[in-house]
Structure 1
Amino acid sequence: MGSQAVRFEASEEFARRMDSEDPLRHLREEFIFPDHKSGEPAMYLVGNSLGLQPRKAKTYVLEALEDWAKLGVEGHFTGTRPWMPYHETLTEQTARLVGAHPIEVVVMNTLTVNLHLMMVSFYRPTRERSKILMEAGAFPSDQYAVASQVRFHGYDPERDILRLSPRPGEETLRLEDILETIERHGKEIALVLLGNVNYLTGQAFDMAAITRAAHKQGCQVGFDLAHGAGNLRLSLHDDGPDFAVWCSYKYLNGGPGTLGGVFVHERHARDKGLPRFEGWWGHNKQTRFQMGPDFDPSPGAEGWLLSNSPILQLSALRASMELFDRATMPALRHKSELLTGYLEFLLERLPPGFVTVLTPRDPKQRGVQLSLRFSKEPRRMLEKLNSAGVFCDFRSPDIIRAAPAPFYVSFHDVYRFVGVLERHARDSAD
């Protein structure tokens, strides 16, 4: 049952009833909420920036520290969970999370590092085909990475980056405009690189349609899933992009600055001719310890590994990935559609003109996040929210992002959040 089939009610009784009937409600207890000076339970609506800490994260990190203390270097091969293959223990979970085959994914590095590594392989500009197509409103780090790659190859970012912008008077991109741009400029485009969920507007894109259109024109295709992994039901293998990258500290609750992930489609798994930056950990595991001088890449995404994995970070991420397997992405996505639909329903009952939702209304075009533009004093609005125990974030000049992540946000949290907004709207009108 989708959010459109539920008859929402603007009452506390309804919110509590939805929570009592929620099959995932017990998972909220698996996370640690930050303290707040209000003394009230925190309303944590900023999992799109940093997810909460799973209770087991500390246990797993301490477990790795204990093995290091007791075993020293032998911890690579013995102990509770040997370090040498530790990253492999997350491979099948990660594949399920993003809709991929295990050979197509690996947990490694951080997002922008992985983006650069992927562009080394999949952005191969020529005089005829040198351009990268991306969103004008892409996250700044993506824009910096793309511009630096274009300059590295001797091209001009002003000429060789095509930036997609919404139509005048609109906040989000139209799929038909993206596809039309690909068709019109396709023979000039080397790489189509989009975020599958825009960090600012919360708009989600049709990855399958974009990939088909770009491949038809001979372009390579990559996606930044920073706001998609753990948020949307993904089907990377079937959608068919050449690569994707993501971080694990937002919806994946892996901890600040933790490892990201990489998807490389199976069709590239054994292509040893693909240019790449090489490192020992990406060498074929069967011959790695022969210490030969010539690089022989492991099949699949692991062939892009550079160095052995930071075990303490993997340990923390492991705690969250186990919860994703318990909950399953279909169930989490179903709840997130209900939570976001309920939030939207309540926002529509606020005084006209007080707040505008920038994020598309169609659940297929968004994840859990709603981006809100306030008509008056948005920074003061943020202060009011913070003092009431609401954690959300601000993007200049006037946008507050609210993300009711389904692991740990309740329907009652959503009801309380909009109650704070309603009181502020009433005070502003007086």
Structure 2
Amino acid sequence: MSLEKAIELDLKHPSYHKEFNVPTFQSMGISQSKDDIIYFCGNSLGLMPKSTRQAINDELDAWSARAVESHFRHPGEPEGKTSWVDIDLPTVPLIAPIVGANEDEVAVMGSLTSNLNALIIAFYQPKHKKRKILFEKGSFPSDYYAIYNQIKLKDLDPEDCILQLSPKENEYYLKTEDILKTIEEKHTEIALLLLPGIQYYTGQLFDIEKITAFAKKFDIIVGWDLAHAAGNVILKLHDWDVDFATWCSYKYLNAGPGGISGIFINSKHNTNEVDYKPRLAGWWGNNSKKRFQMLEKFEPIPSALGFRQSNPSVIDVVSLQNSLKIFQNVRIEELRAKSLELTKYLEELLIKSKYYIPPAESFNTDKIGFTIITPSNPNERGAQLSLLFLPSTTESKEGIMEKINGYLNSNGVICDERRPDVIRFAPVPLYNTFEQVYRSVTVLNKAFDEIFNERS
């Protein structure tokens, strides 16, 4: 496929890269060139919208001008700014459509793992034999730590209450039918199912709708970690009857490093202030009309807002709000359509590489090259393709992945490495282009040629 083909595809699928600050060769310390680098790392940290700096400065100005009074009398209110006491509320109608929720089902709060812990505490209610948490063997470590310790907090044995899913031998990712089979076989023991919407290492997109519906038939509470899914793929959490979910905002939502997180609580769980679900609680989740009366009576807001604990960081919130405004101008469905084409194009170019090794041949090979461990079905992946470099460093000690990633980086292609052997390529539809995909694969092939002296 030629560069001309990539340019033709870019004419059909617009990019919004002009809305973002893109690192350059100069700013990355690679050379003195002011040309943009190719940034395929939005699945780890999204680029900074150009308008974010002003949004943050406006709040710094408010802090400077009125200090504590900005909680109730923001100096920018005539221009549409929000007083800090309600700073997170304008984000609710912006994030709800991105995750497919009603507005009363979402809240912007906390950080990803703190929210995950808070949600598990509220929803994991082991009873008798039904006390296991079903999740994946290769889950992000933070999720494992949370689950392990939540079980211990219930005075239960993690060895008895953890049920993990692993791919079959000579397979790289979980098959939906295997997940459903485990649910059916073990449903009398499972209290909670907690899976990632998209697996961070392989890039697999789980069939959230199908898995949720199947688990619900067996009275299993279903939660999802959407760190790699929010802002990446189409979500319909309310329609799919998900019980709870949480996500971060610093990846595809471009809210900045360590950006504020968000939660989804299905409206059927948002009961009245008397008959409410016990949770980790704080004054920001209490009846807002009585919040400053300092009463020793908890009356949770009957929505996801009732799960908030403390007043949020103003800077974090406005960073997220500013980024979400971009999504008002481009629908998630439009982004997903472009993403499918970007990832398809990337896959086609990679498969044409002489260094590509098909997955079926990758489990027993001495060849130097790579395979793709992300599902080939476009409906089973998001914006990410994970490349596994072969042979495995654990066997050859060649450090192939590190050498390739170093070459990519020094030539202006910024991807994300995951030890021991994977580099994740994530062309983000908001700001990446087909031409960048073409050029990145060209650099990848040159890396192999030059590092391993395999020039054709």
The TM-score bracket by the shorter chain reads over 0.9
The equivalent residue for 1:30 is 19
Equivalent position amino acid for 1:290 in 2: Q
Equivalent position amino acid for 1:181 in 2: T
Does the aligned pair in 1 maintain the 2:408–2:447 contact within 8 Å?
no
Separation in 1 of the partners of 2:215 and 2:294? 40
Does the aligned pair in 2 maintain the 1:347–1:418 contact within 8 Å?
yes
- Which digits, 9 at most, give the CA deviation of each residue in 1:39-80, with x for residues without a partner? 342100000000010011110000001011111122112222
Q: Identity over the aligned pairs, expressed in percent?
A: 43
Q: Pick the aligned partner of 1:374 from 389, 394, 400.
A: 389
The equivalent residue for 1:364 is 379
**What RMSD over aligned residues (CA atoms) do the two structures have, in Å?**
1.2
Matched, 1:383 2:406: yes
SS across alignment from 2:107 = strand
Deviation at 1:126, TM superposition (A): 2.0
Does the aligned pair in 2 maintain the 1:99–1:236 contact within 8 Å?
yes
SS across alignment from 1:374 = strand
The equivalent residue for 2:394 is none
1:73-152 → structure 2 map (5 Å cutoff): 73-79=68-74, 80=76, 81=81, 82-152=83-153
The 4+ residue runs of structure 1 with deviation greater than 3 A are none
The equivalent residue for 1:64 is 59
Separation in 1 of the partners of 2:222 and 2:123? 8
Deviation at 1:250, TM superposition (A): 0.6
Deviation at 1:207, TM superposition (A): 1.0
The equivalent residue for 1:345 is 348
The equivalent residue for 1:290 is 293
Separation in 1 of the partners of 2:129 and 2:351? 50
Q: Pick the aligned partner of 2:277 from 274, 278, 281.
A: 274
Matched, 1:51 2:46: yes
Q: Pick the aligned partner of 2:439 from 398, 409, 416.
A: 416
Deviation at 1:19, TM superposition (A): 1.6
Separation in 1 of the partners of 2:234 and 2:448? 35
Does the aligned pair in 1 maintain the 2:135–2:165 contact within 8 Å?
yes
Does the aligned pair in 1 maintain the 2:110–2:260 contact within 8 Å?
yes
* Ranges in structure 1 where 5+ consecutive residues have no aligned partner: 1-9
Counting matched residue pairs gives 419
| Compared CA separation, residues 208 and 21, structure 1 to 2 (3 A) | closer
Separation in 2 of the partners of 1:53 and 1:389? 18
1:189-208 → structure 2 map (5 Å cutoff): 189-208=190-209
Separation in 2 of the partners of 1:394 and 1:90? 32
Does the aligned pair in 2 maintain the 1:57–1:318 contact within 8 Å?
no
Equivalent position amino acid for 2:238 in 1: H
Equivalent position amino acid for 2:55 in 1: Y
Q: Which TM-score applies when normalising by structure 2?
A: 0.90
Q: Which TM-score applies when normalising by structure 1?
A: 0.95
Separation in 1 of the partners of 2:276 and 2:128? 21
- Which digits, 9 at most, give the CA deviation of each residue in 1:155-179, with x for residues without a partner? 1111211000001110000101101
Does the aligned pair in 1 maintain the 2:194–2:222 contact within 8 Å?
yes
Matched, 1:355 2:370: yes
The equivalent residue for 2:10 is 19
Equivalent position amino acid for 1:41 in 2: D
Deviation at 1:21, TM superposition (A): 2.8
- Which digits, 9 at most, give the CA deviation of each residue in 1:312-362, with x for residues without a partner? 111111121001111110111111111101100100110143221100011
Separation in 1 of the partners of 2:414 and 2:159? 38
* Ranges in structure 2 where 5+ consecutive residues have no aligned partner: 358-368, 392-399
Separation in 1 of the partners of 2:214 and 2:156? 25
Separation in 1 of the partners of 2:192 and 2:152? 15
Deviation at 1:16, TM superposition (A): 1.4
Separation in 1 of the partners of 2:157 and 2:114? 22
RCO (CA 8 Å, sep 6+): is it higher in 1 or 2? 1
Matched, 1:42 2:42: no
Does the aligned pair in 1 maintain the 2:404–2:448 contact within 8 Å?
no
SS across alignment from 1:361 = coil
Deviation at 1:20, TM superposition (A): 2.5
Does the aligned pair in 2 maintain the 1:258–1:313 contact within 8 Å?
yes
Equivalent position amino acid for 1:30 in 2: E
The equivalent residue for 1:405 is 428
Separation in 1 of the partners of 2:331 and 2:221? 31
Separation in 1 of the partners of 2:49 and 2:276? 41
Equivalent position amino acid for 2:226 in 1: L
Deviation at 1:291, TM superposition (A): 2.1
The answer to which of 282-291 and 193-202 deviates more is: 282-291
Does the aligned pair in 2 maintain the 1:187–1:218 contact within 8 Å?
no
Separation in 1 of the partners of 2:204 and 2:11? 30
Separation in 2 of the partners of 1:344 and 1:183? 34
Does the aligned pair in 2 maintain the 1:202–1:371 contact within 8 Å?
yes
Equivalent position amino acid for 2:279 in 1: R
SS across alignment from 2:319 = helix
- Which digits, 9 at most, give the CA deviation of each residue in 1:119-167, with x for residues without a partner? 1110011222110000001100000000000011011111211000001
Deviation at 1:275, TM superposition (A): 1.5
1:160-171 → structure 2 map (5 Å cutoff): 160-171=161-172
SS across alignment from 1:372 = strand
SS across alignment from 1:276 = coil
The equivalent residue for 1:309 is 312
Separation in 2 of the partners of 1:379 and 1:425? 12
The equivalent residue for 1:238 is 239
